Amino acid sequence: MLRSIQASLRRSTCAATSSTHPLLRRRGYSSESAPERKVAVLGAAGGIGQPLALLMKLNPLVSSLSLYDIAGTPGVAADVSHINTRSEVVGYMGEDQLGKALEGCDLVIIPAGVPRKPGMTRDDLFNINAGIVKSLATAIAKYCPHALVNMISNPVNSTVPIAAEVFKKAGTYDEKKLFGVTMLDVVRAKTFYAGKAKVPVEGVNVPVVGGHAGITILPLFSQATPKANLSDEDIKALTKRTQDGGTEVVEAKAGKGSATLSMAYAGAIFADACLKGLNGVPDVIECSFVQSSITELPFFASKVKLGKNGVEEVLDLGPLSDYEKQGLESLMPELKSSIEKGIKFANQS
């Protein structure tokens, strides 16, 4: 069981990395000889944070796991630390322990903040989460300015620009190191496509571009592999379901939060890809919301090649169907205004 979860973590999800580059096997690393990597989870006692802490504890690329929250981390850390895998686990609680939690980190994953309730948009979380992200980004700039940052907290379309502005002000911004986690959109697109196309889900790849809210989520089913003969109606329904995937979970949870388990899985897969990139595994490619010049917007989600310094290359969108071209045009105003909202917040407060 443990082996199969670890194998799944080692298998990256985009084309080039799928099952062909399990670092440990190909390069003969055992968990003892893989490079030391400290990973922090900020918001580690939450709905996403706890299962994400578990999955990162199962990742043999992690040597030190730092679990930070404003409350509840001693229990989570004690629990997770009993698992007999490589990393040592330390829990940190409260702001005065944040510096210690971050010092020496190679990768910081941020699922801190409030989740949606039915009837809310991700943007409705802005008022609370923007401040949380700003203060965590300020601490990252101070204590681990060279770490990769995986931003999960919503609204991602605004929280990533907020973090970028905080880092710029602190003089530590490196656009190669800041990632909005949009992996759950990819995970959903793959699952829904495999179901509709009746193909084994393990072999499916679907890029998802744009942003991470409603129509800004643009799955490119015209580029999905393996190819399947789906009707225009099928593609429209799959697109809508991917865009509304978060809301589907929020409604099903009926007031008890949003996606946590699938998000922890997606976050763990994306973090694993970042660690592989840092460790020099070639051709690690995943989708992420990053600083970008492939459209006129300063941030955009697309396929990204990960390397020793974070983003090695932002890949362009590739050929789009007419339906996808329309979707791209429609999403630009909303994504632009969410990005601008984040930038404005970071600079005025």
Ligand X SMILES: O=C([O-])CC(=O)C(=O)O
Ligand Y SMILES: NC(=O)C1=CN([C@@H]2O[C@H](COP(=O)(O)OP(=O)(O)OC[C@H]3O[C@@H](n4cnc5c(N)ncnc54)[C@H](O)[C@@H]3O)[C@@H](O)[C@H]2O)C=CC1
Residue 21 a catalytic site member: no
Give the torsion through C-alpha atoms of 342, 111, 171, 304, to 10 deg.
Answer: -90
Q: Does the protein bind ligand X through residue 287 (CB under 6 A)?
A: no
Residue 45 binds which of ligand Y, ligand X, none (CB < 5-8 A, kind-dependent): ligand Y
DSSP assigned state of 175: G
Taking the least distance from each CB to ligand Y, the nearer of 39 and 132 is 132
Report the alpha-carbon distance of residue 193 to residue 274 in Å, rounded. 25
Subset of residues 149 to 188 that bind ligand X, contact rule: CB under 6 A: 154, 184
In the complex, which residue's CB is closest to ligand X?
246
Name 310's bridge partners: 307
The item of ligand Y, ligand X, none sharing an interface with residue 153, based on CB under 5 to 8 Å by kind, is ligand Y
In the complex, least distance from residue 212 CB atom to ligand Y, rounded to whole angstroms: 6
Please state the residue numbers annotated as binding site for NAD(+): 43-49, 69, 129, 152-154, 263
Distance of CA 106 to the CA centre of its chain: 15
Minimum distance of ligand X from residue 110's CB (angstroms): 13
Nearest alpha-carbon partner for 75 in 98, 99, 49, 56: 49
Instruction: Say how far apart CA 20 and CA 15 lie, in whole Å.
Output: 9
Q: Which does 249 bind (CB under 5 to 8 A by kind): ligand X, ligand Y, none?
A: ligand X
Structure tokens at 123: 């943007």
Shortest distance (Å) from residue 151 CB to ligand Y: 8
Q: What angle do CA 183, 309, 38 make, to 5 degrees?
A: 75
Catalytic residue among 21, 82, 146, 212: 212
State the residues that interact with ligand X by CB under 6 A.
115-116, 122, 154, 184, 245-247, 249-250, 258-259
Catalytic residues, which ones? 212
